[in-house]
Amino acid sequence: MMWMAILQAPDHPQEAEQLCRGALAIEQPDSSEAATTMEVFAAFLEKQGRTDEAAPLRDQATSVRKVLGAHAPVIRQAVTESAYRIGGGVTPPSLVSKVEPQYTEEARAAKYQGTAVITVEIGTDGIARNMKVIRGLGFGLDQRAVQAISQWHFKPGAKDGEPVPVMATIEVNFRLL
C-alpha cells in the first residue's frame, strides 16, 4: 500500500493519504516497517505544508526506533558466545575491501535515506557472519546492507597476536545523491 501511495502522491494526494493511513493500520505498530511508513507519511504531509500533522508521526517513528534499539544489547549477545569484544587486548578487525550496497527501487522511488545498523561476527578468515539487523530501514534496504556486508573482507581482529573472531557493529548509510 505504501508503494502505491508514493506513486499516487504527486497527482492524487487524497488517494495517497488514504493509502498511507491504510498501510499504517495493517502494520505492527512497534515494527521497523511501521516506523518507516510513518517517516514516509510524515515527509508526504510536510511536502503539503502540513507540518503540524507530520510532527506526531515523526515523533512516534523516533520512539519506535528507540524501543527497537533498546533491544540491541540482547540481540548483540545472541550473535555468538565465542566471539570476542574489542578491548582488553583484543584489537578490532579492519576493512580490506568493500562492496557498496545497492538502493532498492522502492527506496529510490520514496527518496528514502537513512542508516541501517548491523551486528556481525568477523571470523578469523576475515568474513562477516552471524549478521543481525539491530536498527533497520525497511524498503528492502536492510537486506541490501546484509548482502553487501557479506561480500566485504576484513583483516581479522586479534588477541595476543593471534586472529580471533570479533563482534562488531557496522553502520551502512543509504544516501541519494
pLDDT digit string (tens) for 27-59?
A: 787 887 888 888 888 888 888 899 899 899 888
**In terms of Cα–Cα distance, which of 136, 143, 132, 115 is closest to 167?**
132
Residue 14's pLDDT band, with cuts at 50, 70 and 90, is confident
At 89-108, the pLDDT tens digits run: 999 999 999 999 999 888 88
Share of the chain above pLDDT 70, in %: 87
Q: Please answer whether residues 167 and 119 qualify as being in contact, where contact means their C-beta atoms are separated by less than 8 angstroms.
A: yes
The residue that leads in pLDDT, 49 or 8, is 49
On average, the pLDDT of the chain sits at 84
The runs of H, that is alpha helices, within 9-160 are: 13-26, 32-47, 51-70, 72-79, 105-110, 141-149
Lowest mean pLDDT among 77-81, 115-119, 172-176: 77-81
Compare 81 and 137 and report the one with higher pLDDT. Answer: 137
**CA dist., res. 169 & res. 96, Å (int):** 16
d(CA 65, CA 117): 11
